[in-house]
Structure 1
Amino acid sequence: MAGTNSQDNRNKAAKRQARADRQAATAAAQQAQAEQAAKERRQQTIIGAVVVAIVVVLIAVIGIVVYHNVHKSNATKNLTVQDAYSQLQNVKSTPKGANDKGGFLISKDGYGKKVAGVPTVGEYFDPLCPGCANFNREVDPTLKSLMDAGQINLELYPMSFLDGSSTDQYSSRASGAIAYIAGHDDNPDHLVSFIASIYAANFQPEEGQNYKPVSDAALKEQALKAGVPESVASKAFGREYQDWLSAINTYTPKRPELWNTEGQNKGAMTTPTVTFNGTTLDMTKVSSLGMDLKTAVLNSIGLTSSQVGKEGQLPSIGASGKPVSLG
């Protein structure tokens, strides 16, 4: 009997010890969990503080950018046309051969050599502008034939206001190249061909959300195909005319002689803008008459399609007349 009681006592003691061990293990596990939870709370607090700090910094930076952009926009908006003109004249790095309003004059005799007694046709365009591409494809071959025959002078005004509609400042890169080529390649045919090549339907990128990046190398390839020498094409994308292009984007839209005189864009400049001896072609009227652009241009200067490219058959408006009314 004594042996049995002794065994029972040992069993009970073992159970008590096992129970105590389990309780100790549970307590230890709970303590470990509590310590881990506290550690995670400390880490989350630190991470949260860092995130808040980063957000505050980003908000501050964004605020500065927005402020400067708005401030710049307002400052530009409040400039008079004369002030904007003065700013353009004060740009340090300007392309060789550009006139005081940002254009390049070409004729059958080359850059800057105006043929006497014939009208000067001006084109204002942005390389990313789809309407400018349409005009180039429809009308520029005719303008080139007229120029080669000494029937007109041609002034080209590259702009870059659509930089924001691309992800890589396409407009200013392309227009900067146009300006560089005009100042460093003596053959204007190369420039005209280059502009046509970047407006080609299989090359010109779409603006806005569907824009796909275009490299300088791709633009250079178009220049080489147009006949621009390698020595010029390889340096045409140095972007040294950014300030000049920016000044043009400010000045040109402020020129009242370039504003639309009717339609939804009345009182504002749009591209393409085409002028004849400084007077703007009324694109709204062209559209309302159902007239194609080539016919509108020829009618405006006083020529027929059959006279295009015929030396000696000169436009009726001459070097200073206003464009013929379209109706």
Structure 2
Amino acid sequence: MSKPTSKHTPQPVSSKTTYALGAVAVAVLLLIVFAVYQWNRGGSDEVRNDGYGSSHDPAVSVALDSDGAIVIGKPNVAKTIDVYEDPLCPACGLMEKTYGQEIAQQVDQGKLTVRYRMVNFLDRSSGSKDYSTRAIAANECVAQAGDGPAYSKFHALLFTTKQPSEGGSDHDNKELAAIAKESGASDDAVTCITKADRLDPARNHAEAALKSLGDRAATPTVLIDGKKVDVFKDTDWVLNASK
């Protein structure tokens, strides 16, 4: 006995159906990515110590070490944290927006010293193709003048309201100099930025900072006593670092 044959003939899926299914798949994928991102971030989007601003105690000083590290704090502070950043890094900007004011208050209170080590691997993602390096040079120009509050404000602006977007336009040296002047930096620091006096040292320092990161080559990276902190999950990391 022969098997009955189906009278149904499969029809090819229309291109409209294919596009619709593809759109649904993309939407689902984006939702999954967003959920994973939110899950991995944990913590809170709440701005810590909102309204405090950048460091403003005149006793806070800043120094540019020979290896390019920028150290800001008061004398004889027991706790120092290392912060690795790229000036174009969006996550670094988020960290600054969330925790920058809390860090500034701990610095003003003499409970914390911050050692900034800047890298430039996002140069290629800037409109000028060298923004990260030039921004690092500008940071060094302001830091070497020794004015802690001026540097703190300059750093905060570059990583918050003045931070360019990846792939978009960025600040030229005159614009970086104008931000430094707005921050209260000295005339010498402003001239240093305009003339790009520290461009070559900044490039060398960024390379050294990237090498010191090693297999932790991601920004932001915060090290407390040599151990990496998850700054987007542990919302009390600044206070814990200050103890």
* Same fold flag (TM > 0.5): yes
> Secondary structure at 2:216's aligned position in 1?
coil
- Asked whether the equivalents of residues 105 and 114 of structure 1 are also in contact (C-alpha less than 8 Å), the reply is no
Q: Measure the CA separation in 2 of the matches of 1:124 and 1:237.
A: 25
Q: Among residues 78, 89, 98, which one is paired with 2:64 in the alignment? A: 98
Give me the TM-score of the superposition, normalised by structure 1.
0.50
- Separation in structure 2 between the aligned mates of residue 279 and residue 114 of structure 1, nearest angstrom: 22
Aligned: 1:236 with 2:193: yes
CA contact (8 A) 1:159 1:245 kept: no
Check conservation: 2:118, 2:206, Cα contact below 8 A.
no
- Amino acid across the alignment from 1:298: L
Q: Which runs of 5+ in 2 are unaligned?
A: 1-61
Using the alignment, how far apart are the partners of 2:68 and 2:99 within structure 1? 22
Structure with bigger helix share is 1
- Amino acid across the alignment from 2:105: S
Q: Is the 8 A contact 1:253 1:268 kept in 2?
A: no
How far has the Cα of 1:163 moved from its partner? 1.3
* Runs of 4+ that moved beyond 6 A: none
1:152 aligns with 2:112: yes
Q: Which amino acid aligns with 2:237?
A: A
Q: How many residues are matched?
A: 181
1:275 matched to 2:235? The reply is no
- Give the deviation of 1:97 after TM superposition: 4.2
Deviates more, 1:242-251 or 1:223-232: 242-251
C-alpha RMSD of the superposition: 2.3
Which structure 2 residues correspond to residues 298-313 of structure 1 after superposition, within 5 A?
298-299=239-240, 301=241
Taking a change above 3 Å as real, the CA distance of residues 190 and 276 of structure 1, as seen in their structure-2 partners, is same
Cα deviation, residue 180, structure 1: 0.9
Residue 179 of structure 1 aligns with an amino acid whose one-letter code is E
Quick check: which has more Rg, 1 or 2?
1
The CA distance in 1 between the partners of 2:238 and 2:76, in whole Å, is 20
Read off the aligned partner of 1:103 and give its amino acid letter.
Answer: A
Counterpart of 1:129, as a letter, is: C
Q: CA deviation at 1:100?
A: 4.4
Distance 1:119 1:165 in 2: 34
Structure 2: distance between partners of 1:252 and 1:231: 26
Aligned match of 2:163: 204
1:125, 1:157 within 8 Å by CA — same for their partners in 2?
yes
* 1:215–1:132 distance in 2 versus 1, CA, 3 Å: same
Normalising by structure 2, what TM-score? 0.66
CA contact (8 A) 1:105 1:155 kept: yes
Contact 2:140–2:202 (8 Å) recurs in 1: no
Please give the residue correspondences for 1:1-327 in structure 2 after superposition, counting only pairs within 5 Å: 97-108=63-74, 113-115=75-77, 118-168=78-128, 169-184=130-145, 186-201=146-161, 203-208=162-167, 211-255=168-212, 258=213, 267-281=215-229, 283=230, 291=233, 294-299=235-240, 301=241, 315=243
Whether the 8 Å contact between 1:106 and 1:114 is mirrored in structure 2 is no
**Is the Cα–Cα contact under 8 Å of residues 120 and 132 in structure 2 kept in the other structure?**
yes
Identity over aligned pairs, percent: 26
